[in-house]
Amino acid sequence: MDLREIAKVGLKGRKKDTLLLKIVIVLAFVFIVTSIVFQGSVETTKLEQRLDLYGDWHAAYLQGNAQVLDRLKTEKDIDSIGVSTIIGVSEKAGVIGTFNEELLEMGRMELYKGRYPQASDEIMVELNQISDMGLDLEVGQKIEVELVAVDRKWDLTEYVESLKDKFDERWIIENGYTNLKYNTHHNVPFEKVGEVLVVMSANYIYVSPREAYVSPEMLIDDGGLISHKLILKKEFTITGILNTYSDKWDSNGFTVANSFITEEGGQEFTNAIYNNSLGDFSYLDMKSNIYLRSDALEGELFPSIKDQYPNMVIEDIENDTQWMVNAFVFTFGRSEEERQAVYDNILSYSSIKEKNEGNIEGGGQDHSKMEMNTSNFRRNNFSYPDKLASTEYVLTLSIIAIIFITTALAIFQIFLTQMRRRARKIVLLKSIGATNSQIVKMIAYEGFYLLRTGILIGLPTGLGFAALIIYIMNKFGGRNIDFHIIPSLLILGIIAGILALLIGMAVPVIYAVRIPLVGTMSKPPKHKKISQHTKKSTLKRQTFNSINLQYYKQNRGKTLITFGLSLTSIVILTTTILLCYLSFDNYREVVRSTNRPDYAMETYYGEMTIKLPKVQEELLQLEGIKKAEPYKVGRSTLLWYDGIGDNKFLNDFKELLPMNLGARHFTSYNNELVEQEPWIHNAFYTKYYGIDGNSEIFDRFESQLTVGRIDKEKFHKGDEVILLIPMYLEMDKEIKDVKISSEQLSVSTTDDNRMAWIFRNNGRYDLSYSNRYADYYRFPEEIKHGDTIYLSADEEKIEGDSRVTSYVTKEVQVGGIIHYFPEEGVWPFSNSMASYVVVGSYNGMESIYPNSRNGLLTKSLSEMKSITDTFYPNGYGRTIWYLDTDSQGVDRILDAKLLTFANENGYTLFNYKASNAELYHEALNNAIIIGLLGITASAIACVILYNTTVSKLEQDKNRIGILQALGVTKEQFSNHYLKLGIITGIGSMIITHIILFIVLLLTSIGLIEGVNMSFVDYVHDIFVNRLWLYPWFVHVIVCIVYLIITIFIYYLPNKKVTNLYPVENIRSLGR
């Protein structure tokens, strides 16, 4: 019989031990393969989804020119270049650009309908562009594209300087500056170049004495050119509707095309720009977005060449030239201070004039984010995020590492126990001449056989298991994961499994080699050596329990090992649940705690209240829509109360706010309102959300009131409102070096979240609506429930041929105030942190936004858009729907249905579902991996525990036999092991929970910045906030299952031993 045979027969002979080893190694391989394949599949699917969403380009130079393109073409590492030359901006089709084949390919452009353009008069338009313009979602339509190819403001400095020669100070003093007149002239010559109609629109200014005659020729020849536009017109046929990509790609504000024409079509436009007789536009540097792919470098393409491609220098004429001339004229001959005052006034007025609130919904902007990347040359971070930093990547490596350690420990423990049991046989083999190397070889063969079983069973089972999980997630979880194996990662996992086995076997092999031919390697129990023995010791009566206790005390090592293993199992299990829970942190924080809906739909007009139930019914009829809640929202609501001048928050906000943003929040910046009543000229701009007093939304708001109560009748009439005012914490630290320009602030924050952002970033206050801070933050007391506030809104109306602005004011009572949301927040307030938001009834809202009562009425969408854009920007209010669906997955059919609905009703659709689903599924994937890891690791720990318990019991057989001989009954033994199981289980659970609590406590310290918390506060915070939505039910079930398993592990093996007669157990000593 050779060594291989001895190993094989030996494994067969030690059935139970071999089975345990096989279980461990198979479990390890099953888990390694499952997790790697699952993770690989999810990663690959996610990558594919990312590439579909964000394009398969590695880097891009946005707004580059021909020189940049030519240089990039010479880069040897670049395999393909997708180019989109931006032709201009059109009202109907958005930004018009060209495309090439490479762009379609690397952009993974998907058509919603139709085909790509082939002829020079064909165009494909993005879905959202079609939707925004209210065009039909149909191909074959002919549209006349009128695009602005050149829109240039000229620097008037030279002309303004020339005025000084024309009108010296003396002339101004003698005649007065009001005697100056500035004449403007607008001319629009046109010409047809090929199929393209070219129109040039130029504006001139000419300052003259009031009485002087000025001809158009004088204006053109001697005046200053303010601006000119080159407008190109051409008819196109829509051949395709492109799925929206422009708001998804990593472009960060750079202009990208919304509609694509062929390069030939682009050439026609370029030709028209450069070869017309209307003017010389050779200075125009056509911009192209250049997308790059490199098969060899992939994500490394950008860092490898970025230094060679700096940003483009952009000629920046930002001053409003018209106002610049005004300022010059009005300040001519005045002091520097007076001049500055005029400029400031102009700036603030300019700001009011350009006050563009955009969407109320704000696109779901996260108030905490403020990142900007203004580089032309950029990496596609959306498609190719930094791999090393990704959670999934770290998780995969951690899984392999943890399984490696767990498997190695399990193999080590089981093999070592086995070696102890096999000591006599090994000694026998040695005594008949087996060398140490032969012993090692024999054990190595055993390892080989185990490995063979592990791989043969573990690999296919793991693959099957992964396929099953993917199938279940696709079938029931609304996912679309493709089964995918990453060979390199799988090989790494298998190597880890093999290494774990080899390392786990190493120490037991050394033990086997070192077993002496005579004597024993076991040590006597460590009892306390007695130095002075008494003649006769007094003795308390011994019981079976005390005898056992004595035994465990004196064999602490063994006792602690089994207890430690039991503890390890429950620590792994409970930590797994906690980690699974924590993996949903982001989802909870962003979606659940803010109550972010799946979709929001906002329209630019106030829908007739009477129509809202019908719209709601239509929305709820769409398959998948679970909830549809409407708000009628009035923008730019003026809020005032007696004493507003002493409101420290508003005063601090005003103080910290850059001047040119002041007019967006305070009416006092508007000099035109100085003569108005104080509730008009000294008010704070907020929003008025109108809700149905008999709806679920009302009940929700009412239940969340922090102070006060609502009289439903008064609320319905609009005489009583709810105010949302966040709690605050005085941060008490002055941050002086906040260097952020008003422009950046304007771009990065919304009107809603600006106050909270500024307060926080200036170290003044932290504002919050979160119940987590309810015990530590203070409630502002500037406005109390029961107080009277004045709400006003613009009442724009047309009188004659001009728009007249007056105000409608309503005096209302604050019925209740919400300072924080007791549990889940209410979207969008919980996200925006807006202060002094008014929530009232539809009637209340419509009483100050009277046009809102009319809704669409008989007007078409485009007419309504013109009315609200031009005449009544605020008067009509807005309508917002928040929609929730009954699933977590992305539903493209529902997306399309909602888009159509939005299109038909003039709504803008905000899709949060994709982002909600992404957050949810990312968390779910991590939770599955962590769960699998936890279950496998604790299963292995349980196998080790079982093996240790059995092994310990076998070592105790002699003692058990002696006790049996001394009259201990089977029942006593059974009860003892049952108790031991219960004590170990419960003890382990208690310690585990203490450990977890300490971990949570330690990680809670300092989490709530600026607040001194007591121990009780931390406990409250942990259980109420950090463990909010914690699956306690699962936790309790897992603990119960663990306890049952532990009891069985302790209890069952004893039966086999205690069923034997004493002498059989005593004889076992000789094994």
Partner 1 sequence: MAIILRAVEIEKKYGKGELQVNALKPSNLELEEGVFYAIIGKSGSGKSTLLHMLGALDKPSSGKIYLEGESVFDLKDSELAVLRRRRIGFVFQSFNLLQEHTVLENILMPIHLDNKDPDKEHLDKVITSLGIEDKLSFYPDELSGGERQRVAVARALVSQPAIVLADEPTGNLDENTGREVMRLIKESAKKFGQTIILVTHDLDIAREADVVITIADGKILSIEETKGLADNK
Q: Residue numbers of the site for partner 1 (CB under 8 A)?
A: 524-525, 527, 529-530, 533-537, 539, 541-544, 547, 550-551, 553-555, 958-959, 961-972, 1061-1064, 1066, 1069
Q: In terms of CB distance, is 524 or 800 closer to partner 1?
A: 524
Any residues with CB less than 8 A from the CB of 306 and at least 6 apart, and which?
Answer: 59, 377
Residues 1035, 577 contacting (CB under 8 angstroms): yes
CB 190 within 8 A of CB 199: yes
Q: How far apart are the first and last CA of the chain?
A: 24
3-class DSSP state for residue 1061?
Answer: coil
Closest distance between partner 1 and the C-beta of residue 425, in Å?
18
CB of 389 or CB of 539, closer to partner 1: 539
Structure tokens at 120: 């020079």
Dist CA 615 CA 855 (whole Å): 13
Structure tokens at 380: 């596609």
Q: Vertex 109, ends 106 and 389: CA angle to 5°?
A: 55
Kind and range of the H or E run holding 145: strand 142-153
- 374 or 534, CB closer to partner 1? 534
Nearer to partner 1, 767 or 968 (CB): 968
Helix (H) or strand (E) holding 149: strand 142-153
> CB-based contacts of 673: which residues, under 8 Å, 6+ apart?
667, 680, 681
Q: Which parts of 759-912 are beta strand (E)?
A: 765-768, 788-799, 802-818, 837-841, 878-885, 907-911
- With respect to partner 1, which residue has the nearer C-beta, 1023 or 1061? 1061
CB 1070 to partner 1: min, Å: 9
Phi/psi for 282 (5° steps) reads -65, -20
Taking the complex as a whole, the smallest distance from the CB of residue 553 to partner 1 amounts, in Å, to 8
Nearer to partner 1, 15 or 535 (CB): 535
For tokens 């919050």, name the residue.
768
Minimum CB separation from partner 1 for residue 985, in Å? 24
Q: Would you say 381 or 554 has its CB closer to partner 1?
A: 554
Residue 267 exposure: Cα atoms within 13 Å on the Cβ side: 6
Nearest to 904 by CA among 212, 135, 256: 135
Consecutive H or E run containing 260: strand 259-261
Query: For 680, how many CA atoms within 13 A lie in the half-sphere containing its CB?
Result: 16
| Cβ neighbours for 962, distance < 8 A, ≥ 6 positions apart | 1062, 1066
How deeply is 1061 buried, as exposed, middle or buried, from its count of CB atoms within 10 A (0-12, 13-18, 19+)?
exposed
Tell me, rounded to whole angstroms, the distance of Cα 582 from its chain centroid. 15
Phi, psi for 357 (deg, rounded to 5): -80, -15
Classify residue 992 as left (phi > 0), alpha (psi -120 to 50) or beta. alpha
Q: Provide the residue count of the chain.
A: 1071
Amino acid at 65: N
| CA 746 from centroid of its chain's CA atoms | 22
Comparing CB distances to partner 1, the nearer of 547 and 1027 is 547
Q: How far is the CB of 409 from partner 1 (least distance, A)?
A: 28
From residue 791, how far is each of 183, 782, 788, 836 by CA, in Å? 41, 16, 10, 11
User: Toward partner 1, which CB reaches closer, 749 or 964?
Assistant: 964
Whichever of 934 and 961 has its CB closer to partner 1, that residue is: 961
Which residues neighbour 617 within 8 Å (Cβ) at sequence distance 6 or greater? none
Going by the DSSP 8-state scheme, the letter that residue 295 receives in this structure is T
The beta strands (E) that lie in 830-968 are given as 837-841, 878-885, 907-911
| Cα 1065 to Cα 14, 281, 954, 981, distances in angstroms | 19, 105, 9, 22
Contact status, residue 783 vs residue 706, Cβ threshold 8 Å: no
The residue among 534 and 802 lying less far from partner 1, judged by its C-beta, is: 534
Sole residue written with tokens 């490995």 = 451
DSSP assignment string, 423-438 = HHHHHHHHHTT--HHH
Whose Cβ is closer to partner 1: residue 588's or residue 970's?
A: 970
How far is C-alpha 822 from the chain's CA centre?
23
The rounded distance, in Å, linking the Cα atoms of 593 and 1010 is: 22
Report the distance separating Cα 379 and Cα 138, nearest Å. Answer: 35
Give percent helix, percent strand, percent coil of the chain, each to the nearest 5: 50, 20, 30
Could you identify the residue written with the tokens 């929206």? 244
What is the DSSP secondary structure assignment for residue 637, as one 8-state letter? E
Angle at 656 between CA 651 and CA 659, to 5 degrees: 100
